[in-house]
Structures are given as structure tokens and as C-alpha cells.
């Protein structure tokens, strides 16, 4: 068991983009990752179901003595974050608020948001952005096929480009200057999206922004533990074979040992 680690959970492998960014910014901190792979995806589940899953995942990590929780899932961040903050006496950071803050850099106040059906239907990104920039025009689109494309390693394939063009025509017509990647899988499509929108559109990586928020919180609250050793542990709720294979591409490195557990 890791003492006073950062706990990060997601419905599956996508949250490893958040894990990677946190590890890069806080390399000496111990990190525990839980992928709820037996119940993936969260994006098409009901609000009550996602809330229950998120609570069970968080309890698993809290039981292991984490000092901070990162909800590395846009859907769970959209519908369960406040419940988790009420339930646990430790900092809980989601991925929506950091992404929304970065989107405020928009010059023409025309902001696109893409994500899973659950994230888009929740309306949480428009709410968070509008609270900071009341005059923003926000255009939201669900792009469910981006997740399997990323997991199949086809994020830069011609199929991904054609799929993105089909989904994103309304955003091109809206002349957005900022696009929020509202799913932790979507950073893998960065190059494909950049090719479609060009260099002038700001692509907001919620994983990167979340890691920055974690680092800032550590500095403010004195949570750093430079002597903790920088150890990593990975847990999944189903057979780890696919997680290990796909996760290597998301993390950009070998995961090492992945342990299957039961939660709930």
C-alpha cells in the first residue's frame, strides 16, 4: 500500500492521460490509479448509476489512504463531484472546472465543447464556462466514436479524420476559436483535431489543465511529499489484458503490474 498517495480514477483507460500529466508535474509523488473497466463506459449510463460507480471507486482509493482524489472522468466529474466532496474529508478535483478556466482565454467568446453523451447532456461545461465568461457562446457536441478510435490506436488514422469532420462541421461553421476536449481520451486525437481546425484554434486539454490544478493545490496546501518515492500502482475491475495494451499508448510507457480488484 502506498502511504499518502494521489488517487486517480476513471471508468477505464482514458484517465491515464490525466495520470501522465500529474506524474510529469509531480514525479516524486506516489500515484494510485483505478480503472473501473468492468463497468466502462460511464458516458452512456444514467446519472444515478454514474454517481454510485464514482462513489465506489472513490471509496476504494480512500481506503488506501490517499491524500487527494482526482476524478479523471468527465462524466463522473459532471454528475458526481459534489457528492464526493460532501462524502470525503479530503480535496477532490474533477476535470471540468480546470478545462473551463482555460477556455476563458477565448478571444471571440465562441467556444466549442466535445465529449461523451453523458458529459454533453449534463451541460456542466457550459455552466462552468458561462459562470466565468457570461457573454460566451458555447457550442457542444457529443463525439462518442472518438473513444473507440483512440483505444484502437486509430487517433491519427484517416478514419478518425473523416469521423471528426462529420462530427465537427457545426463547430467549423460557428467559427469557434477555442475547443475544449471534454473527454480524457480526446488528447490522443490532438493532431487530427489540429489538422481540422488549424493553428489559430486553442485546443484545451482537460487532462493537462487538471494536472496543473493539482500542482497548484499542492503548493497552496503544502501537500508535497518529495520523499515519497514516486511509486505507481494500477488497479482495474476486470481482466487487465486490454488495459495493459491500450494503456501503454495512453501513458507513453510501460504500466508495470496491473492488479484486478473488486469494488462496491
Return mean pLDDT, the chain.
93
Count of structural domains within the chain: 2
42 is in an annotated binding site: yes
The one catalytic residue in 73, 104, 143, 219 is 73
pTM of the model: 0.91
pLDDT tens-digit series, residues 192-204: 999 999 999 999 9
104 noted as active-site residue: no
Query: Does residue 78 fall inside a structural domain?
Result: yes
191 is in an annotated binding site: no
Which of 99, 114, 190, 122 lies closest to 145, judged by CA?
A: 114
Residue 158 C-alpha cell reads as 484517416
Which of 106, 91, 122 lies closest to 214, judged by CA?
A: 91
Query: Does residue 51 fall inside a structural domain?
Result: yes
pLDDT tens-digit series, residues 42-82: 878 899 999 999 999 999 999 999 999 999 998 899 899 99
pLDDT score, position 253: 84
Query: Does residue 196 fall inside a structural domain?
Result: yes
Whether 158 and 170 map to the same domain: the answer is yes
Whether 82 and 118 map to the same domain: the answer is no
241 is in an annotated binding site: no
177 is in an annotated binding site: no
Whether 65 and 54 map to the same domain: the answer is yes
43 is in an annotated binding site: yes
Whether 198 and 111 map to the same domain: the answer is yes
73 noted as active-site residue: yes
pLDDT score, position 1: 46
75 is in an annotated binding site: yes
Q: Which residues of the chain fall below pLDDT 70?
A: 1-3, 226-228
The one catalytic residue in 104, 143, 183, 219 is 183
Task: Identify the CATH number of the domain in which residue 146 sits.
Answer: 3.40.50.1860
Whether 87 and 217 map to the same domain: the answer is yes
pLDDT tens-digit series, residues 130-142: 999 999 999 999 9
Domain that holds residue 45: 6-94+208-260
First CA to last CA distance, the chain: 19
Query: Does residue 212 fall inside a structural domain?
Result: yes
Amino acid at each position: 500500500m502506498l502511504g499518502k498517495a494521489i488517487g486517480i480514477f476513471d471508468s477505464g483507460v482514458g484517465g491515464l492521460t490525466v495520470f501522465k500529466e500529474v506524474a510529469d508535474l509531480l514525479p516524486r509523488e506516489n500515484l494510485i490509479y483505478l480503472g473501473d473497466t468492468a463497468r466502462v463506459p460511464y458516458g452512456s449510463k444514467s446519472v444515478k448509476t454514474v454517481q454510485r460507480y464514482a462513489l465506489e471507486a472513490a471509496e476504494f482509493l480512500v481506503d488506501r489512504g490517499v491524500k487527494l482524489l482526482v476524478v479523471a472522468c468527465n462524466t463522473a466529474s459532471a454528475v458526481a463531484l459534489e457528492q464526493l466532496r460532501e462524502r470525503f474529508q479530503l480535496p477532490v478535483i474533477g476535470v471540468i472546472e480546470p478545462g473551463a478556466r482555460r477556455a476563458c482565454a477565448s478571444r471571440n467568446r465562441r467556444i466549442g465543447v466535445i465529449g461523451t453523451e453523458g458529459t454533453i447532456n449534463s451541460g456542466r461545461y457550459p455552466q462552468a464556462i458561462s459562470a466565468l465568461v457570461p457573454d460566451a457562446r458555447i457550442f457542444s457536441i457529443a463525439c462518442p466514436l472518438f473513444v473507440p478510435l483512440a483505444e484502437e490506436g486509430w487517433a491519427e488514422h484517416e478514419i478518425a479524420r473523416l469521423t471528426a469532420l462529420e462530427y465537427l462541421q457545426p463547430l467549423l461553421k460557428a467559427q469557434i476559436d477555442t475547443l475544449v476536449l471534454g473527454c480524457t481520451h480526446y488528447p490522443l486525437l490532438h493532431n487530427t483535431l489540429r489538422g481540422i481546425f488549424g493553428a489559430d484554434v486553442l485546443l484545451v486539454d482537460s487532462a493537462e489543465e487538471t494536472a496543473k490544478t493539482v500542482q497548484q493545490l499542492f503548493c497552496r496546501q503544502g501537500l508535497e511529499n518529495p520523499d515519497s518515492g514516486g511509486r505507481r500502482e494500477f488497479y482495474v475491475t476486470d481482466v487487465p489484458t486490454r488495459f495493459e495494451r491500450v494503456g501503454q499508448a495512453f501513458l507513453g510507457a510501460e504500466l508495470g503490474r496491473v492488479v484486478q480488484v473488486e469494488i462496491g
